[in-house]
Structure 1
Amino acid sequence: MDHDSQARPAATLAEVEDALLSRWPETRLEPSLDRIAAFTELLGDPQRGYPVIHLTGTNGKTSTSRMVDTLLRALELRTGRFTSPHVESITERISVDGEPLSDEAFVRAFTDVAPYTHLVDAEADHPLSFFETVVGMAFAAFADAPVDVAVVEVGMGGSWDATNVADADVAVLLPVALDHAKYLGATPAAIAAEKAGIVKPGSRVVVAEQSEAVAAVVADRVREVGATAVLEGVDFGVEARSPAVGGQVVDLRGLRGTYPEVFLPLYGAHQAQNAAVALATVEAFLGGDAPLADEVVRAAFAEVTSPGRLEIVRRSPTIVLDAAHNPHGAEALAAALEDSFSFEPLVGVVGVMADKDHEGLLAALEPRLAHVVVTQASTDRALPAEELGAVAREVFGDGRVSVVPRLADALDAAAALAEAGDALSGSLSSGAVLVTGSVVTVGEARRMVVRTRPAGGER
């Protein structure tokens, strides 16, 4: 086949998405950096043109990346940020100066690299995947900007993730738990060995609190490559936290100073931990001994947002979105609900991807939910609602489960249950709907709810 015939330039975001989605899907992995290395080499190795902060871990990558980005921008550095997956639009994956690329800029980023994708495809055993292509686009867009620092979130794992063609100045290891076991190994230690692959010779490594087995694996890697590590709970951490209206107030101990009573407009102990990790990451990146200016730290954290992470998108009834998609994330979500919210009843809308531990996720949420409406997102990766319903009935009992396959109908059903239960309970608190189970489900729900909200509604 003539490769030039494929190289029709894409003119719209929809055409770019089609071109990207025709490639190997994100979930298909092959443990090799050969294709992405060939691709970035053709692009002039843009990822070597700026320092890189590289984040991995089972949960918390996107929220922490957003905090790191916000803090760096408060220090007047120009940032690039690469995150995945996206909540609503593919453009969210590549941000410059804290804002996703515009549709036009995303199309331009794709057309800039498209000719080189075909050169790699022609030489390699397998064509470049969707993910590899977007990683190449991001690294090239950051070089074009140009950025002072790139904040790069691993797609999956570490060693063999396409982002690992970049060498981390600062490598960040968020909590490691079981997820993607099919691809990364069946124990946290096996997964940690894969994730620790982002630690490179000379990296400074910021390590969130880990289980003993994981901490040992990370320490081995740090020693092996001659990196230097700082540990949550030893070198930095959350000194105190208390829930507050619209989020929480935290006392953060950084590597160089303590920052008391910082307002963080996100809910849950896990977000306080992410904030401590983000602070230590920025301190490690900057080097030196002087504490950051207190007012800069406060101003930065006060404006952090993380869409789809315990995000209230509507009132009356309240609808909360959370992208928890594994038991570890669901446990953090359940703790945050208990900590910060008093919804009665709370009705879940849950849709999961087929490759996840949905039983563990449902079990973690069961004590917090009065009723669960199981549904499915419109992707072929979604577990059919009927299958999820069968597991949910075992966890919750028949009387607390409804199966509503279409997500829009599931949201309506849950809202009706929340409002009816609210009227019946006679309590002063009010009913609410929690949408969770996957980033895809949350993204689809967010589009539906935010689009249909009346003018002047709460964001």
Structure 2
Amino acid sequence: MSEHTPDARPAETFDEVEDALLSRWPETKLEPSLDRIRAFTELLGEPQRSFRVVHLTGTNGKTSTSRMIETLLRSLDLRTGRFTSPHLERMSERISIDGEPLDDEGFVRAFNDVAAFTHLVDADQEHPLSFFETIVGMAYAAFADAPVDVAVVEVGMGGSWDATNVADADVAVVLPIAVDHAKYLGDTPAVIAHEKAGIIKPGSFAILAEQTPDVAAVLLERAVEVGATVAREGMEFGVVSRVPAIGGQVVSLQGLHARYDEIFLPLYGAHQAQNAAVALAAVEAFGSGAPLDEDLVRAAFAEVTSPGRLEVIRRSPTILLDAAHNPHGAEATARALEDSFNFSPLIGVMGVMGDKDADGVLAAFEPHVEHLICTQNSSDRSMTAAELGRAAVEVFGEDRVTVVAGLAEAIDRAAALAEAGQAFGDALGAGAVLVTGSVVTVGEARTMLTGRRA
């Protein structure tokens, strides 16, 4: 087992930490047990018990909603930690304190603070700690050390067996559940819901986004079983109205304790308005039971960012980045494109992971994308551009698909097509590029296009 564990000496650089973490089990490998992470956090002194927790699960929307919740909590003068995954460009994005990712020095320090304990766990368990378990331990220890008042924690995969679930949430947030990670979680939303419901703990407050009836039944059964208080989107809270606006949308939200009108949200799509309603309800549930100050709510939402989620990263032509990587997410993005933009032509650049439902993602975007360039990212899990191209031809037709393996060249080709709008019978200057299909693809594109980090 020792050949799979990193060197015990302290890391000196970010690259050394990244290397040590990546030498462990990948986060795509799940062994359903909390034994290792429990042993790890016990050795660390149970850091997750030293702050309150808002815990989020669901198929899509977790990172955007986490960022909204954190921004609202910070507006209440609370010190926050935020743990999200996967990262877009840089591993340290996963652990944020006071709204900012750990810098390189802080990330190295967080790793070195726990590194010696990883080897004790490795030696004592059937399997060594995974990458994800290790970085969860790092996050919880860093939050306790800060110290934070509240941590906003996004599950990695599922719920019950997710390493983050050694923390007991004050507020458990369940975003819409659809099928993803079917190999590990199950092939129907209701089966997946049983796993995700595990973050709802005794005495907690469960904030449930709108769900299909079979999923809602599973979540409500769990809430009753553990004595959790429940609030449901569309019943106890929700979106009253939304109007697309330049740079985002203006929404009115019904919270648990008050209605909040004329809130500018600088994110696109009905799904982000729903995420905002969920975030607002979660923060109200976390609080004292009184309505939040409307001006604070308005100011907090106006500050929200969510990199790689229908993010306009460049103009002339417009280039949008969106990390949709399953059919449910792609459909939400497609609706937002229709709702908030008027690009013609829209040229797609897509790179997907080999274990994802590429056909479903392609089908969701087909009505909205004039021409698709199939590419791949640098991950060894990436579907090849040629394989994606073959699948795309079945959905788009041969004349609407181009295969370009290199991501940078694919984006360049797409930009040229978008600028040459008249070739598709459209006016010059109306074209745009959408880079999508995977968080990794979008993260790599973001780094290429900006040269800066999220």
Report the TM-score range of the alignment, normalised by the length of the smaller protein.
over 0.9
Distance 1:178 1:308 in 2: 21
Q: Per-residue deviation at 1:451?
A: 2.0
Q: Per-residue deviation at 1:427?
A: 2.8
Q: Per-residue deviation at 1:226?
A: 1.0
Distance 2:336 2:61 in 1: 14
Residues 316 and 429 in structure 2, CA contact (< 8 A), matched pair in contact too: no
Tell me what 1:163 maps to. Answer: 164
Distance 2:234 2:428 in 1: 39
Residues 189 and 215 in structure 2, CA contact (< 8 A), matched pair in contact too: yes
String of CA shifts for 1:391-427, please: whole Å, max 9, x gaps: 1000000000001011011111111111112565343
Gaps of 5+ in 1: 453-458
TM-score by length of structure 1 reads 0.97
Q: Per-residue deviation at 1:22?
A: 0.3
Counterparts of 1:9-20 in structure 2 under 5 Å? Answer: 9-20=10-21
Q: Per-residue deviation at 1:291?
A: 1.2
Distance 2:345 2:131 in 1: 41
Q: Per-residue deviation at 1:45?
A: 0.3
Distance 1:242 1:127 in 2: 50
Q: Which letter maps to 2:304?
A: V
Aligned residues: 452
RMSD: 1.4
Distance 1:326 1:429 in 2: 30
Report the secondary structure of 1:202's partner residue: coil
Q: Per-residue deviation at 1:429?
A: 5.9
Report the secondary structure of 2:96's partner residue: strand
Q: Which letter maps to 2:308?
A: G
Q: 1:33 to 1:2 in 2, by over 3 A?
A: closer
Tell me what 2:97 maps to. Answer: 96
Report the secondary structure of 1:276's partner residue: helix
Counterparts of 1:24-423 in structure 2 under 5 Å? Answer: 24-288=25-289, 290-422=290-422
String of CA shifts for 1:343-391, please: whole Å, max 9, x gaps: 1000000000111001000000000000000000001010111111111
Distance 1:66 1:343 in 2: 28
Q: Which letter maps to 2:356?
A: K
Q: Which letter maps to 2:293?
A: A
Q: Which letter maps to 2:330?
A: A
Residues 344 and 425 in structure 1, CA contact (< 8 A), matched pair in contact too: no
Distance 2:122 2:197 in 1: 29
Distance 1:445 1:130 in 2: 24
Q: 1:130 to 1:2 in 2, by over 3 A?
A: closer
Residues 422 and 430 in structure 1, CA contact (< 8 A), matched pair in contact too: no
Q: Per-residue deviation at 1:6?
A: 2.5
Where in structure 1 do 4 or more consecutive aligned residues deviate above 3 Å?
A: 1-5, 422-426
Q: Which letter maps to 2:78?
A: L
Residues 373 and 414 in structure 1, CA contact (< 8 A), matched pair in contact too: yes
String of CA shifts for 1:43-68, please: whole Å, max 9, x gaps: 00000001110000000000000000
Q: Which letter maps to 2:325?
A: H
Distance 1:46 1:424 in 2: 58
Gaps of 5+ in 2: none
Q: Which letter maps to 1:371?
A: H
Distance 2:2 2:155 in 1: 34
Report the secondary structure of 1:108's partner residue: helix
Report the secondary structure of 1:19's partner residue: helix
Distance 1:235 1:304 in 2: 24
String of CA shifts for 1:179-228, please: whole Å, max 9, x gaps: 00111001000000000000110110000000000000001100111111
Distance 1:209 1:156 in 2: 20
Distance 1:296 1:94 in 2: 25
Distance 2:427 2:210 in 1: 39
Distance 2:76 2:208 in 1: 23
Distance 1:274 1:5 in 2: 39
Q: Alignment identity in percent? A: 72
Distance 2:17 2:448 in 1: 23
Distance 1:422 1:307 in 2: 31
Distance 1:86 1:225 in 2: 32
Q: Which letter maps to 1:450?
A: T
String of CA shifts for 1:214-261, please: whole Å, max 9, x gaps: 000001100111111100000000000000000000000000000011
Tell me what 1:455 maps to. Answer: none
Q: Which letter maps to 2:93?
A: E
Distance 1:437 1:104 in 2: 32
Counterparts of 1:418-437 in structure 2 under 5 Å? Answer: 418-422=418-422, 425-427=425-427, 430-437=430-437
Residues 422 and 431 in structure 1, CA contact (< 8 A), matched pair in contact too: no
TM-score by length of structure 2 reads 0.98
